[in-house]
Structure 1
């Protein structure tokens, strides 16, 4: 049995630290290919150019075309090579960061990750989720290493829409329960190793921080200010969840998330929002104690995360559609295999409907 911890070489978090960008990346190279979200692009140019002043770093900027697909990866790899760059930088949300990691992997360059929202645990992972051009989950790309540097400017994150921070809490919410399931199943992590004690501890800490500081951090984000609670939740969303899931393992919650992507009504729902509901579904699958399910549902309600299908755009439940999502959840290569018991689509179908009913009752 081989255990391993997978993590970035350097993780830096604090308010306003992007202005010191060069201090954290100067040993990686001198020609940076920066991939940014379209909505943050102008700010990315301004902040990165300010952050490299006084250095010999040259910067090329390129907008991300919104979907982490094979076609977009190929386009960006070609551009980075054409411009003779030797470092990839991703600045933006989860899919932007995933595509930056994928581009760096195929271009064989180091990568710097700069999240502008704390909506997922993607920044720290050696993993990219690949989707079709229409946004349907396709596959996980397991990378050869974690990001070289992760820079988290909490001043930027505090000023982002509050929904993103809540979505990050939804993604982080699953970490402890998926790691626990993976441990019980003696399953393997995304990196192909067994769950470590350190990952279990990080996952448990992640969950306790969410319960302690989630509501306070949401209030801080609503006012656009950085508080200790916000700093703690950003660390939980990005670092504790990121290292926890990658070195601890995924299970039903993320498999069910992947299944839910086949439902077009949910195209507007973020990754973390779907994962939050899928966590409730996992607890139903496990027949977890009612007290635990109640705690999770109440947490979701307290920070504005979905607890029902209607919350995610399903106004009318069509049994055939729910079964399609259930079948996709159990597809080969999905993380459902890390549950400590066999799960079939009929089980997932039943758990989705039961979780939906529970969510309605607690409202």
Structure 2
């Protein structure tokens, strides 16, 4: 819906650092942010980055205190981290890992009144750079967005660590980032407010488009390189597109239907095991259908995202065209008054979302067959 303001604004993290071996410098960059950091990471992440992080902090004269993260960014987890800050006297919280860890850290850092930093070990979402967090219920359903007055003070991402992670995580980040331009152009057309709290800036919209262009040019060779754990220029470009450009683009360019439909899909238990970007990709395709986008554009999107390894049919996310009750619940959750689907340049009803979701099955399946691409099969959770 149109914004009730003429103010335009853009938001960004205080510093963005990216490159192979960046983790060895995390202590140096954190020392400019705080003197008593608490590192938040799950056991898996700490197992492969803990040694380098600990050595870097000690080299910078910083203490090493790690809190174990598990699960999702829930209200309970966030409140527990606030208590950890109080107990340790921390002046900066550092999220190491994926989007949920980082969102929990941002939320807790804000509530505790201290600074926070993002050290993502994957490029699977644009959460690390933003001034908002997605909070979930204990059952894994979307609960709410939380907004903060500032972005992380530091975002540091080691591209070799990203290249060492499973390739499916980078592919999921491509799914999340592809939505950025689709949603930003819809927001610009409708004149709706962005997550930054004003109208879209030229910078935000342009960065959203830049993210899209980089991904179409570099995603496939980058994914091939990461399968062999290699860092190439294409990999560096995709990491930046997935993390920084998409983060700035969605926040200062605007969200619309794609992410609202993602949030709706969290109401479907069948989709709980899927990565954020996998569900977002279903939302992007449904948004193109809702817009009445040119058939050639939708066809190209199906072909490209299939090659990337992203779902673009209901079958792949464990649903079907006959699951009308579930799809209706998804559509109702996606169209609640607070959702970003109302930034589309036209009204969207739950019935419209149901029709869009049901329609992608047959079209995407046919496009894939005509292009000689694999037929849809149900994704195994998280794959």
TM-score for both structures, normalised by structure 1: 0.98
1:229 is matched with which residue? Answer: 234
C-alpha distance after superposition, 1:235-257 (max 9, x if no partner): 00001100000001000000000
From 57, 60, 69, the counterpart of 1:55: 60
Determine helix, strand or coil for the equivalent of 2:43.
Answer: coil
CA distance in 1, matches of 2:88, 2:224: 43
Task: Check if 1:292 corresponds to 2:304.
Answer: no
8 Å CA contact retained: 1:45, 1:61: no
Instruction: Give, in angstroms, the shift of residue 210 of structure 1.
Output: 0.7
What residue is the counterpart of 1:41 in the other structure? 46
Q: Could you tell me how far apart the structure 2 residues matched to 1:5 and 1:298 are?
A: 33
Cross-structure match for 1:262: 267
Query: Could you tell me whether the CA contact under 8 Å between 2:115 and 2:152 is conserved in 1?
Result: yes
SS at match of 1:58: coil
Please tell me whether residue 104 in structure 1 is matched to residue 109 in structure 2. yes
Which residues in structure 2 correspond to 1:112-261 (within 5 Å)?
Answer: 112-261=117-266
Correspondence for 1:338: 343
Q: 1:312 corresponds to which residue?
A: 317
Gaps in structure 1 of 5+ consecutive residues: none
Q: Per-residue CA shift, 1:26-49, capped at 9, x if unaligned?
A: 122211111112321223431211
Deviation at 1:90, TM superposition (A): 0.2
**Take 2:43 and 2:333, find their aligned partners in 1: how far apart are those partners?**
31
Partner of 1:353: 358
State the match for 2:27 in structure 1.
Answer: 22
Deviation at 1:347, TM superposition (A): 0.4
The 10-residue stretch of structure 1 (81-90 or 22-31) with the greater mean CA deviation from structure 2 = 22-31
Q: CA RMSD in A?
A: 1.0
- Equivalents in 2 of 1:297, 1:316: separation in Å? 18
The CA deviation at 1:316 is: 7.1
Q: Contact 2:321/2:361 (CA < 8 Å) preserved in 1?
A: no
Contact 2:215–2:241 at 8 Å: present in 1 too? yes
Deviations 1:131-163 (A, max 9, x none): 000110010000110000000100000010111
Give the count of matched residue pairs: 363
Distance 1:353 1:193 in 2: 34
Contact 1:37 1:93 in 2 (8 A): no
Residues in 1 aligned to 2:22 and 2:146: alpha-carbon distance in whole angstroms: 30
2:94 to 62, 85, 89: 89
Consecutive unaligned residues of structure 2, counting only runs of 5 or more, are 1-5, 369-383
Q: 2: CA distance between counterparts of 1:358 and 1:100? A: 41
Q: 1: distance between equivalents of 2:142 and 2:170?
A: 22
The one-character-per-residue Cα deviations of 1:99-143 (angstroms, maximum 9, x if unpaired) are 111111111111110000100010110010000001100100001
* Superposition deviation, residue 202 in structure 1: 0.6
User: TM (normalized to structure 2)?
Assistant: 0.93
Between 1:281-290 and 1:313-322, the stretch displaced more is: 313-322
